[in-house]
Amino acid sequence: IDDLRPEALASGSDLIQTPSIDRIAARGTVFDRAYCQQAVCSPSRSSLMTGRRPDATRVWDLDTHFRTALPDAVTIGQYFKSHGYFVQGMGKIFHGGFDDPPTWSTPWQVPKVPPYASAEARAMLAGKRHRDAKGRARGPATEAADVPDDAYLDGQVARLAVRTLGELKRRGEPFFLAVGMAKPHLPFVAPKRYWDLYDRERIYVPASGELPRGAPAFSGHSNGELRSYADVPKQGPIPTDVARRLRHGYYASTSYMDAQIGVMRDALERERLDDRTVVVVWGDHGWQLGEHGLWHKHTNFELAVRSLLVIRVPGQRSPGRRSLSLAELVDVYPTLADVCGLPPPAGLDGVSLRPILDDPAATVREVAVSQYPRAGRETGGRRLMGYSIRDPRWRFTAWRDRDDGTIVARELYDEQDDPHETVNLADRREHADVVRRLTAHVPAFQSVPARTGNARP
């Protein structure tokens, strides 16, 4: 799932309605502290599919294929294929045009569907008056057209997945099926009935539009992705009415996407595959909806790097439980190999989460590590990498110069007593021991050639 914040499965919350994911969670394990490797699509997806961190894949941006640095990498699909599985993918799995043919037994598929359903939005897009930084035409940030589910991409991908499940059942061999949902990624488009699930006037909008007190300015960004859409102000704070509309659109897009998961889940049961199929629901990273004045991902803050992760294994010992144990998306690859009874894959950075599936209180990690690069005018010309270390209570981020290895800035947030990350505590004497302990988990310095590694906000 693209750009889904785990708030959709917040314990005891019906803020965002996701009954289909809830249904899977009721028979599996919800990882409430699962974190991506980098809060942007391609690095995160490359890491999950290879089981390697961004500093190994050398994917820190949206322009690099992981096989440039790791030509012999064995993706999760290749690994299952080598053990007799038929491996098929559809929708967004790798980022954008970065498919990886060796991963699949049959070519990857994605239906061709216009991004908007209404004539007004399509006319705006065709007019090409509004373009993003790459010169691509942009339409509005939201749309609530009165159309059927398959008028948008996710509806068609889900129906393709349903047909594929029937074909895989007839093949009668083990299969690995990867299905990528595009929503709730911008633009927030969904059939009107999903917008009608929510009362816009009751939707919360964060009051604070400021970065945490004491945080470096480059810990945030300029909201460039959001501002590229035609109906969003190009400068200044996002007005409250616009923010509320955007949040409404995000909620509606999430519920629409969830309904497509329900379509696939029903097909799995109808084909009588449910009781012998492992199901994983994962988001490539979180998403900021105006917190700290930030929209979308591209940071090391908790809301950006915390990801949705639900794993359901038939016959697991503790179904329907939530776990606060730390996990990373890089752990999905070794976990699937483990629960499917395959030999442990070699050379991965992740660890199996199977102990947590059996006992939600079990731990497999002391910390979870995420990262994000910064460069350019906002950093005074320095190329930085922010390594963010999360333990059960604290989030510590060290900003390291990628040319000489020096740490130029630090952030520390108390996720227990200050869950909204309002104050950077890194320079306070009483937290020196915490900073020292978590600094020990910052990855070793690696010099990076100047031509690579500058992710675009």
Distance CA 19, CA 418 (A): 30
For 187-212, give the DSSP string: SEE--HHHHTTS-GGG----S--SPP
Query: Among 291, 293, 315, which residue's Cα sits nearest to residue 227?
Result: 293
The residue type at 386: G
Query: Among 277, 273, 276, 358, which residue's Cα sits nearest to residue 316?
Result: 358
Query: Among 6, 96, 9, 115, which residue's Cα sits nearest to residue 46?
Result: 96
The catalytically annotated residue of 36, 65, 83, 95 is: 95
Is 36 among the residues known to form the active site?
A: no
Where do we find the tokens 């895989």? 168
How are beta strands 394-401 and 384-390 bridged, if at all? antiparallel
For 30-77, give the DSSP string: EETTEE-SSSSHHHHHHHHHHT--HHHHT--SSS--GGGT-TT---HH
At what angle are helices 332-339 and 41-50 packed, to 10 degrees?
A: 30
Query: Among 238, 86, 235, 230, which residue's Cα sits nearest to residue 165?
Result: 86
Distance CA 204, CA 244 (A): 7
Query: Among 333, 353, 316, 350, which residue's Cα sits nearest to residue 31?
Result: 353
Active site positions, annotated: 41, 95
